[in-house]
Structure 1
């Protein structure tokens, strides 16, 4: 049996999310908490305009979730501490030899390397909980990994980052060969492209140490959509040029060289916590659309929408303000997880 992770552009049955619950990620003041709840709810409603949304909700947040989400979003009661579904939830896969069968890879989740501040014991159960709710066959993995740490083209190529899967706080005994063997077993990846690093801010205390889904994605086979920090005053100016030079030397699973499309960063280079990691790459592809991050910059947001419309032809691009999500450590892709459609 060979599982295969479809491209995010393949048809979805639904998108999974987790509703925020009180803790270090949500914020320490009433205003911060309300802003967090509102940001997650806004993304859920935007996705629900294209496809069904199922939301894990901690029992302590049921009343608030019902009020903010309304009747159009399915609520699944479950324990929630961290609420980044891309990372704590399963990675869905299909079996080409068994039409109609949905699988779910349950990675080990340890709070992005067991940071001192992270509270993740409940979130570590999300892979199993979501798989069961979705009626998927569970494929357990001993690899510490997060969905935000991989991107695939659906044809055998997977993007990884040396500082994520080989992070000694995650997988102290792993090497490239072991990780690649597990990617083949779990998601059917036959060819790994190892990015040397991620964005600068991602290496801070509250970062993931280089998740690929804020840096690069594969909108179609043979094409890389790459974050482009154009301001020389920002440390990611050098980083994104290093990554562009890297991708110029790489091939996909078929041996073809990548076509690189640059996706310029917003103009804002600093926020209250330092150098920004604001990125339009961290979008979610949905049925017939794309849910794009917005940063309150009319011109930059519009430019990003235009590029996303070009690389995802025929899809409607909708921008949702993602600043409150990024203030907590990620973007729209980080808080969502697509469930691919399977047909018998």
Structure 2
């Protein structure tokens, strides 16, 4: 097989999500839990305006999911312990030598580095469950990795982070050569661009230790959207400047020097837990649109929409409030996973 992960901008068959269920991530109070359910529901309903959405739901939450999602979203039942579909669900790939074949990469998921609060028993079964539902061939991997830890251009380039794929909590015996070989085998990546780190908040207790999908993405080959913290009072001001300097020197799989487009952070610097990692980079591209993170700041949200409209011409950008998702450790991209439409996927 010659597996390749298409760009997120390639046509989708559908988007996959996982509905929240009770646990440390969802919240301790009724108000916190309700806010979590609502945030996931809002993303699902916004996405369903553009393409089919299938929601994996723990049996304990089936009635609530039907009540909140209605008929707009397909529901399938499976045991869950977490609900960040991007990270523990399948990473879909296609076979360019056999156009009708869909693959589903099943990374090892250990709860973002095995912190004491994370659960992974049920999460580790979801990639295979989803693969079975859609008739995809399972591509097993020995790498501990999450879908939010990679971004691709569909032409052989992959963005990675040293503190994720090379982190001792995930892959203590890995080196860049081994990781890159696995990326070639599973998603067809021929060129890896390594970031040394991610955003500051992402290294807190409930962080992922550097996921790239909150830092940078590739809207089209040769072009990169980069989180830009403009306020020097935030530690990510130095981080984003360092990453920009590094990325400006990189070339992609086609040998192109990357054109970097800044995607400025909102003005809010802190919440009750410390410096925020609010990022407009963590958006989802869908058929004919983009589901963008909103942070309740009219000026910043509007500026981000304009940049995304330019980056994804011909797509309608819809902003969904993502503050409750970020409060739980991620964003819109983190809770969604696209399934490519096989008959329309092309290099």
User: Per the shorter chain, which TM-score range?
Assistant: over 0.9
Q: Who is 2:161 aligned against?
A: 161
1:232 corresponding residue in structure 2: 232
Q: Tell me which moved more, 81-90 or 119-128.
A: 119-128
SS at match of 1:260: strand
Q: TM-score, normalised by structure 2?
A: 0.98
Cα distance in 2, alignment partners of residues 150 and 142 from structure 1: 16
Match of 1:316 in 2: 316
Q: After TM superposition, list the pairs within 5 Å mapping 1:242-281 onto structure 2.
A: 242-281=242-281
2: CA distance, partners of 1:320 / 1:4: 30
Matched, 1:285 2:285: yes
Deviation at 1:2, TM superposition (A): 0.8
Aligned residues: 344
C-alpha displacement at 1:134, in angstroms? 1.6
Matched, 1:40 2:40: yes
Aligned to 1:211: 211
Provide the residue aligned with 2:75 in structure 1: 75
Q: Which residue of 2 aligns with 1:176?
A: 176
SS in 1 for 2:254: coil
Structure 2 residues not aligned, in runs of 5+: none
Structure 1 distance, partners of 2:248, 2:283, is 23
Report the counterpart of residue 107 of structure 1 in structure 2: 107
Deviations 1:80-116 (A, max 9, x none): 1100000010100000000111110000000000001
* C-alpha deviation, 1:127, in angstroms: 0.8
C-alpha distance in structure 1 between counterparts of 2:92 and 2:189, whole Å: 13
| Cross-structure match for 1:193 | 193
CA positional deviation for 1:43 = 0.2
| C-alpha separation in 1, matches of 2:201 and 2:121 | 25
Three-state SS of the structure 2 residue aligned to 1:111 is coil
Q: Quote how far apart the aligned CAs of 1:263 are.
A: 0.2
Structure 1 stretches lacking a partner, 5+ long: none
Q: Which runs of 4+ in 1 moved over 6 A?
A: none
Equivalent position of 1:21 in the other structure: 21
